[in-house]
Amino acid sequence: MKSSDKYSKIIFKRMGTRILIFSVIFSLILAFCFAVGKYISGQIIWQPTDRLYIFLINIRNLIPFIWAIGIIGIIFFYLRKSLIYIDYIIDASNKLIANDKNYIELPADLKMIENRLNQSKKTALDNAAIAKANEERKNELIVYLAHDLKTPLTSIIGYLEILNESPDLPIEARAKYSKITLDKAYRLEELINEFFEIARFNIGKIVLNKAKLNLKLMLEQISYEFYPMAKANNQPILIDCDKDINIYADSDKISRVFNNIIKNAISYSFADTPIKINAYIADRTDSTNTDAHNNTGFKTKEGTNYNVNNNYKVIINIENQGNTIPKEKLDYIFEKFYRLDEARSTNSGGAGLGLAIAKEIVEAHNGKIYATSEDNKTTFTVVLPA
Q: Where are the domains of the chain?
A: 3-97, 140-201, 211-385
Pick the CATH number of 140-201 from 3.20.170.30, 1.20.1050.10, 3.20.20.70, 1.10.287.130: 1.10.287.130
Supply the pLDDT for residue 308: 47
**Tell me, what's the pLDDT at 317?**
95
Q: What is the mean pLDDT of residues 328-336?
A: 77
Q: What is the pLDDT of residue 148?
A: 65
The answer to whether residue 97 scores a pLDDT higher than 90 is no
pLDDT number for residue 287: 40
Which carries the bigger pLDDT value, residue 85 or residue 310? 85
**pTM for this prediction:** 0.53
Average pLDDT of the chain is 78
Please give the C-alpha separations between residue 174 and each of 179, 181, 248, in angstroms, as whole numbers: 9, 10, 50
Model confidence at 101: pLDDT above 80 = no
Per residue in 274-327, pLDDT tens?
A: 999 999 887 655 343 334 333 444 444 444 444 444 455 899 999 999 998 888
Q: What confidence tier does 4 reach under pLDDT thresholds 50, 70, 90?
A: low
Is pLDDT above 50 for 187?
yes
* pLDDT at residue 198 tops 80: no
pLDDT tens per residue across span 240-286: 998 888 899 998 889 889 988 998 899 889 999 999 999 988 765 53
User: Given 3.30.565.10, 3.90.1150.10, 3.90.580.10, 3.40.50.2300, which CATH number is that of 211-385?
Assistant: 3.30.565.10
Look at strands 296-299 and 305-308 and give their pairing: antiparallel
- pLDDT at position 346: 42
Give me the percent of the chain exceeding a pLDDT of 70.
79
What pLDDT is recorded for position 304? 46
Q: Which of 149, 178, 155 is nearest to 349 (CA)?
A: 149
pLDDT at 218 over 90: yes
What is the DSSP pairing of strand 237-241 with strand 275-281? parallel
Average pLDDT over every residue of 228-244: 88
